[in-house]
Amino acid sequence: MFTGNPAGRFVVLFCSVFWFGLAHSADEVRVGALYPLSGQVAKSGEDTVNAIRLAVDIINNKYPDLGVPFAATEGLPALGNAKITLLIADHQGSPETGAAEAERLIVQQKAVALIGAFHSSVAATSSQVAERMGVPYISGESEASTLTERGFKWFFRTTPSSRTQARDFFTFLRELNKGSKDQVRTIAVVHENTLWGQEFAKSVEGYLPEFSDFKLVADISYQQGTADVTSEVQRLIAAKPDVVFHASYDAEAILFARTYKQYKFSPRGVMAIGAAFGSSAFRQALGPDANFYLIREHWSRDLASKNRVVAQVAKLYRDRFGKDMDGTPARAFSAMMTLADAINRAGSADPKKIRDALAATNLAPDKLIMPWTGIRFDQTGQNDLTRGIFVQTLDGAPRMVWPFDQAAAKLVWPRPAGR
């Protein structure tokens, strides 16, 4: 409405500068966090927010022995040791609530950056609000590939999208094939048929041209909540794949593993996305038969053997919240640290400057608790330096076996027959 009126523009500019000067005086930077703290995944939401609380606490206070950025100082050094004020909002897993809470955090609570939102569906709506209002939004754990395909300028994601996660399966197999006589050539994909499983299967197919040394011999999509997987397993037996890629939830993971055993289906490896094939329910249900399944994970406590910081942060988390850290909190922690790094480099609590600093992020791997090769955002706002890990259940416990240079235990491959 002030366009074309230089005086009006000046008033707006002056007011906003003045406003930021007032509301964001050097002693605090207000960051809004959107997470599900009630509803079905309240527990996971709480665990995730706790990691962000820990990150903020490390930034705001002195942790002299800790090897992460901002631990040695109090607050953000480039902003006159300003502290981060975390404003936590509960979106209850609802995209509508998420959007409304994002607006409230920005307008009423004067948040200069948002972090969230666990659910991809909520990240989609709440980041739309942030985009519209010109506030940077960082996500450490919402994985839907589409989030970074919307051409947004204010959205950044540190976690790999579900599409890039599928890439690790191929990278793993290619590394495995290197110098091995026993080459893996044929792959079968078994997936449930809701969005998650379908997206995984689509991603795998999308990578086939790039990884043309592998051939897809069966793509088996089954109804989630199926009573019987005999026909699926018989198709696998007929297709004789070297390796099976799996995207299944808990009940079917147990059912598949048992049916594999019943019909003596024994590929060289079963590699799964999602935690079902390594969950405690799975291990409890299958006992020794749970061994040797490979699960693509984001994080493992085994990373501590090569990275001292991982052990330190994991211990702080455990001591403070009485629970072991796992992949999602670890990723949220990393997103918060990335945001803090950007705010510090921006040297200001101005959302535009924070956004530009985020876009220029380049964090080295030794600053991270993740197995990534760094954090750097591409044009779409996606971190393109992520790397997954593979965890294999060995003697009933999950052990990190890949990347091979960081492995805490030796991969068992091919999986012993009869398991």
Partner 1 sequence: MSGDLLVQLLLSGIGMGFIFALIAIGLTLIYGVMNVVNFAHGEFLMLSMYASYLAFATWGADPIVTLPFVAALMFVFGLLVYYLLVRRVMQGSMNSQIFATFGLMVFLQAAAQFIMGADYFAVRGGLLSGVLEVGSLILPAPQLAAVVGASTATGVLYWLVFRTATGRSLRAASQDRQAASTLGINVDRMYALAWGIGAACVGIAGSLLSNFYPVFPRVGAIFVLIAYVAVALGGFGSIHGALVAGVIIGLLQVLAGFFISSQLKFVPVYLLYLIVVLVRPRGLFGRL
Summarize as ranges the residues that interact with partner 1 (CB under 8 A): 193, 220-223, 225-232, 234-235, 238, 250-251, 254-255, 258, 262-264, 279, 281-282, 284-287
Alpha-carbon span 162 to 83, nearest angstrom: 34
CB of 223 to partner 1, least distance (A): 6
Rounded to a whole number of angstroms, the minimum distance from the CB of residue 224 to partner 1 is: 10
With respect to partner 1, which residue has the nearer C-beta, 27 or 228? 228
Q: How far is the CB of 326 from partner 1 (least distance, A)?
A: 16
- Measured CA to CA, the distance from residue 253 to residue 271 in angstroms comes to 12
Residues 363, 341: contact at Cβ < 8 Å?
yes
Identity of the residue, 181 or 264, whose beta carbon is nearer to partner 1 in the bound complex? 264
- Taking the least distance from each CB to partner 1, the nearer of 2 and 263 is 263
Q: Least CB distance from residue 226 to partner 1, whole Å?
A: 7
**Among 87, 110, 85, residue whose Cα is nearest residue 33:** 87
Token pair of 326 as six digits: 């796992």
Distance CA 120, CA 127 (A): 10
Nearer to partner 1 by Cβ, of 126 and 279: the residue is: 279
Name the token pair of 293: 């399944």
Residue 187 C-beta: closest distance to partner 1, Å: 17
Report, in angstroms and rounded to the nearest whole number, the Rg of the chain calculated over CA atoms.
23
C-alpha 385/C-alpha 365 separation (Å) is 9
Nearer to partner 1, 168 or 192 (CB): 192
Contact (CB, 8 A) for 126 and 114: yes
- Using CA atoms, how far residue 98 sits from 9, 103, 234, in Å, is 32, 9, 44
What's the closest the beta carbon of residue 57 comes to partner 1, in angstroms?
A: 31
**Helices 308-321, 327-346: inter-axial angle, 10-degree rounding:** 110
- Minimum Å distance from CB 397 to partner 1? 17
User: Closer to partner 1 at the Cβ: 235 or 352?
Assistant: 235
Contacts of 166 (CB under 8 A, 6+ apart): 200, 203, 204, 206, 207, 245, 273
Measured distance CA(74)–CA(180) in Å, rounded: 52
CB of 399 to partner 1, least distance (A): 21
The Cα 111–Cα 360 span in angstroms is 21
